[in-house]
Amino acid sequence: DRPMSIDSFRPSRRGFLGLASGAGLLALGDAPAAAARVKTSAKILILGAGAAGTALANRLMTRLEGAEITLLDGRAKHWYQPGFTLIAAGLKPATYSVSENTDWLPRDVKLVEAFAAEIDPEAKSVTTSTGEKLSYDYLVVATGLKLDWEAIEGFSTDLIGKNGIGAVYAGPQEAAATWAEMDRFTSEGGKAVFFRPATEMKCAGAPLKYTFLTEDYATKKGNRGKIAIEYWNNSKALFGVPIVAEKVRMLFEERGIVTEMERSLTAIDPAKKILTFTDQDGITHETDYDFTNIIPPQRAPDVIRNSPLPWADKWVDQGWVEVDPRTLRHNRFPEVFALGDVAGVPKGKTAASVKWQVPVVEDYLVSDIEGKEGSAAYNGYTSCPLITRVGRAMLIEFDYKNNLTPSFPGIIAPLEELWISWLMKEVALKATYNAMLRGKA
């Protein structure tokens, strides 16, 4: 079978753009309120030039006059990670998710191209991978997380894109290589095995999305009868929000996707094409595969885990920064904040979460400089455009209490597979993300 053209899967945008302009769907946030800039000589050090760090740096530049704002990141490229699934579905090229960190920063922000190697919150200093010591008055940890590939015995990233192995999370090029394998598999047939890790993870809906997309491509090619699909879940529920978990269970049942519960991947044998999972009792279970999407355990970067910043009584194997879930301020070091994936909060490892977290840290940091009390609060808002097929998605939004919190009630029903929810993901989200990076959303 020849691969199908992805253009045949694309819905028209005409109706969406009219609705977007009429309903304000592209205006997903507000820029910082116009106000007199606060004069200060405070030294603010931000670890990480990803979505959270870049957005905060830009917002602080509009609020503070005279502050020394330094952004520390050893990777020169900025990755638009919400685009990885689209790349791995053949809908976007790898370049879709890649830009330069410097594209998003004002000239007054100092960018140090190195990684953090040591953090000393008592001395209020960070030592970089090049040996430079940076002091700070305020530290914002926005490093993102570490993909712990080494935790999967037998795996290495050079396997991605070969012999049925994909890994959407690994990067833009790897997502493109995953698409090539998925496209081949849905033409040739066989058995696909998907799963998620037992750790906390960024965009917990992503493993589900790619399972649905693979099933949809096989169906559209007329090859659904040639493939079997299994989803091995780490817990008893397919999603952290019970009502969404039940919806996913029903969709899996309708589409013939078989589930195995309370299983976590621990090893792969690429030569024999065998995956090994371990259950809650430590018993191992093996299954064969012809295609799989490897998602490793996810933890805080080593520099964070080896510092005094993580929680001591929760997530001890993962190392997330110990912060108040409402204020994102460190519980023991009040001049330290955390944002994004590395923050030790019950929800919030998505770009949409970052959008609502950044103004909270901004409020407390600026208020502290002014000698005032901050008043903002993060309620755990998380958004997941859960793709269920090309051209359809459910826009799932929820908070710390697992309450559904739809942004567009009456327009977008969160548990329905809608064309408009798909275009929110494919069209509107990146524009909003880019505005967020510039501090304008």
Question: What pLDDT was estimated at residue 30?
Answer: 52
Question: What pLDDT was estimated at residue 410?
Answer: 86
Classify the C-alpha dihedral 335-143-351-258 as positive or negative.
Answer: negative
CA 147/CA 299 separation, integer angstroms: 7
CA 79/CA 50 separation, integer angstroms: 7
Q: Is the pLDDT of residue 24 over 60?
A: no
Residues 6 or more apart whose Cβ sits within 8 Å of residue 184: 3
Question: Quick one: pLDDT band at residue 109, thresholds 50, 70, 90?
Answer: very high
pLDDT above 90 covers what percent of the chain? 89
Q: Is the pLDDT of residue 96 over 80?
A: yes
Lowest mean pLDDT of 10-14, 46-50, 278-282, name the range: 10-14
Give per-residue pLDDT as tens, 210-242.
Answer: 999 999 999 999 999 999 999 999 999 999 999
The per-residue pLDDT of the chain, averaged, comes to 93
Question: Quick one: pLDDT band at residue 32, thresholds 50, 70, 90?
Answer: low
Tell me the backbone φ, ψ of residue 144, rounded to 5 degrees: 75, -160
CA 55/CA 42 separation, integer angstroms: 19
Strand partners for 279: 263
Q: Is the pLDDT of residue 39 over 80?
A: yes
**Which tokens is 115 given?**
């990684």
CA 288/CA 408 separation, integer angstroms: 43
Question: What pLDDT was estimated at residue 441?
Answer: 82
Rounded average pLDDT over 169-195: 98
Q: Is the pLDDT of residue 33 over 60?
A: no
**Which tokens is 92 given?**
């976007």
Question: What pLDDT was estimated at residue 411?
Answer: 87
Report whether 395 contacts 385 (CB < 8 A). Answer: yes
Give per-residue pLDDT as tens, 241-250.
Answer: 999 999 999 9
CA angle (130 as vertex; 125, 131 as ends), nearest 5? 45
Report whether 286 contacts 280 (CB < 8 A). Answer: no
Give per-residue pLDDT as tens, 375-412.
Answer: 999 999 999 999 999 999 999 999 999 999 999 898 89
Question: What pLDDT was estimated at residue 14?
Answer: 42
Rounded average pLDDT over 296-311: 98
Residue, of 107 and 287, whose pLDDT is higher? 287
Residues 6 or more apart whose Cβ sits within 8 Å of residue 33: none
Q: Is the pLDDT of residue 35 over 80?
A: no
**Residue (of 34, 104, 28, 68) closest to 424 by Cα position:** 28
Rounded average pLDDT over 133-153: 98
Rounded average pLDDT over 190-216: 97
Give per-residue pLDDT as tens, 313-353.
Answer: 999 999 999 999 999 999 999 999 999 999 999 999 999 99
Question: Quick one: pLDDT band at residue 90, thresholds 50, 70, 90?
Answer: very high
Rounded average pLDDT over 49-62: 98
CA 311/CA 81 separation, integer angstroms: 26
CA 260/CA 249 separation, integer angstroms: 12
Q: Is the pLDDT of residue 4 over 70?
A: no
CA 365/CA 371 separation, integer angstroms: 10
